[in-house]
Copies of this chain bind each other. A is one copy, B any other.
């Protein structure tokens, strides 16, 4: 199975790519950062068949080229695992955000996955292939947080996209899923919390303990193996009848029911 994983040079995307390689997927990594992409390729080379495509997700041409190159490299894309890069202003508060901040957030979190999805669906319809879309997202769209409000506002609708797509194109063998992540231990998560720690003058480890570990009864972050198994399950035929659904992997960090 040929899978395109976006924002895959580090953090969630990188780890998901590795887990899929371990489970015998062939993977194209994408990132806008050449250096990180190179390092990711080196680290993953031993795990299976992996390629890289440099891509700027904020540009029309970047998305079109990403799809074209991935299609060539994989001999047809069977699945997209959408992971978004961070919005550069975040963490930032609504009343401080500029128009450009909003536009960047919308491009990264709505326009890019939306348009890339459209390109893929068109290809799948033209070639008569089936395809799977997995949108990685954050449980913060369920319980929005002040410093992530631009991201939460712009990425929330991927839930609707996955459902709508599945209902519109399910009979053509195209299915989509949302996966909402709680806390996973990534460089980005640590950097964000370090900024918060700096602002508040509190030690990082104390905030990590209270606001990451302490929010889930399991008192730990999610494991890549867990996330990898879930995504592999969603990509498999076994999950066909779950099309359109949202799966939460957050260690019960969120207090709220999802219904």
List chain A positions with a Cβ less than 8 A from chain B.
60, 63, 93-99, 102-103, 105-107, 110-111, 114-115, 117-118, 121-122, 125, 141-146, 149-150, 152-161, 163-171, 175, 182, 216-219, 222-223, 225-227, 229-230, 233, 238-252, 254-259
In the A-B complex, the 9 residue pairs with the closest CB atoms = A170-B217, A256-B256, A156-B157, A244-B252, A144-B164, A153-B157, A60-B99, A143-B255, A106-B106
Closest-by-CB residue of B relative to A63 is: B99
Structural contact, B142 and A256, CB atoms closer than 8 A: yes
**CA of A160 to CA of B181, assembled, Å:** 17
Q: Which of B155, B157, B258 contacts A258 (CB 8 A)?
A: B258
Q: Beyond the given A102-B110, A156-B159, please list 9 additional residue pairs across the A-B interface where CB-CB is below 8 A.
A: A63-B99, A95-B122, A106-B106, A155-B157, A156-B160, A223-B241, A229-B238, A241-B251, A258-B258
Q: Which residues of B contact A94 (CB under 8 A)?
A: 114, 117-118, 121, 164-165, 168-169
Main secondary structure of the interface of A (DSSP, over half): helix
**CA of A35 to CA of B244, assembled, Å:** 39
Q: Which residues of B contact A170 (CB under 8 A)?
A: 216-218, 251-252
Q: Which residues of B contact A240 (CB under 8 A)?
A: 218, 226
